Amino acid sequence: MAVELPIIAASDYLNSAVLMEDFLTGEQRQRCRLITDAAPARCAELLRQGDVAAALIPAIEYQRIPGLLAVPGVAIGSKHTVRSVVMAAKKPLPEIRTVALDTSSRTSVSLIRILFAEFYRREVAFHPAPPDVPHMLAEADAAVIIGDPALTFDRTGLHVFDLAGEWRRLTGLPFVFAIWAVRESAREAVAGLDFVAARDAGLRARPALAARYAPRLGLPVETLVTYLEENIHYGLEADDLAGLTHYWTLAARHRLIDEVRPLRWLPVTPGCG
């Protein structure tokens, strides 16, 4: 009888590719079934609905989906500027009154609400929109956009705010955008997966991944290598966890989540992670 493989999900953005490449084409491809979706928000819904055992989810969704365990040591974040999570605006910050929010995002759209309420001390109107900057800016003063679309839109004449850079400037902390999370009921099913080894394999593959995505994004390979190596951070170190906890605390303060639940870690199987 064939063993049923665990199903895991991740977005198909370039920054996510580093964490999923080993499960897709590498040494661990026979240990799971990986499905991809263009939107991180959709990956969270698959996990919420029980359609997958594990998913690379927006960090805010760990607080919204009950019964999850976080995978230690692995994340998508940024120590300083991230480049692929931005607010593009037609006007200077003090003149912004309306903001369109990328429907692909959960963590970043909560982050911009926190930045306006907690730090900029400004009331603005938010509304969801598909990730297309020209269309978003046709109906709003500013647009929050994430992932590959944020790397490729025309920035001419726009005020562009890097949201990880803003968070760092205002808090002194790194920002964590996404984490691997596992349904507690599926912890045995994913016991054979080594998420840290998958990350490390992906880190080694960054030049190859940049070359693969360059034609799709219309950007130079060297630009994408720099992005993966200098802008994106794939660990969960003490300062990353401090930034994540502070973000969740502010999200609760501004009623974006009900409360801050402490992280519960997936036990690491000997030889895995």
Query: What pLDDT digit, counting tens, does each position of 82-141 carry?
Result: 999 999 999 999 999 999 999 999 999 999 999 999 999 999 999 999 999 999 999 999
pTM metric for this prediction: 0.96
Tens place of pLDDT per residue across the chain (273 aa): 456 899 999 999 999 999 999 999 999 999 999 999 878 999 999 999 999 999 999 999 999 999 999 999 999 999 999 999 999 999 999 999 999 999 999 999 999 999 999 999 999 999 999 999 999 999 999 999 999 999 999 999 999 999 999 999 999 999 999 999 999 999 999 999 999 999 999 999 999 999 999 999 999 999 999 999 999 999 999 999 999 999 999 999 999 999 999 999 999 765 555
Q: Which residues of 3-18 are buried (b: 16+ CB within 10 A; e: fewer)?
A: eeebbbbbbbbbbbbb
Phi-psi region at 255: left, alpha or beta (left = phi > 0; alpha = psi -120 to 50) = left
Give me the torsion for CA of 62, 24, 199, 131, rounded to 10°.
-50
| Residue 197 tokens, joined | 């080894």
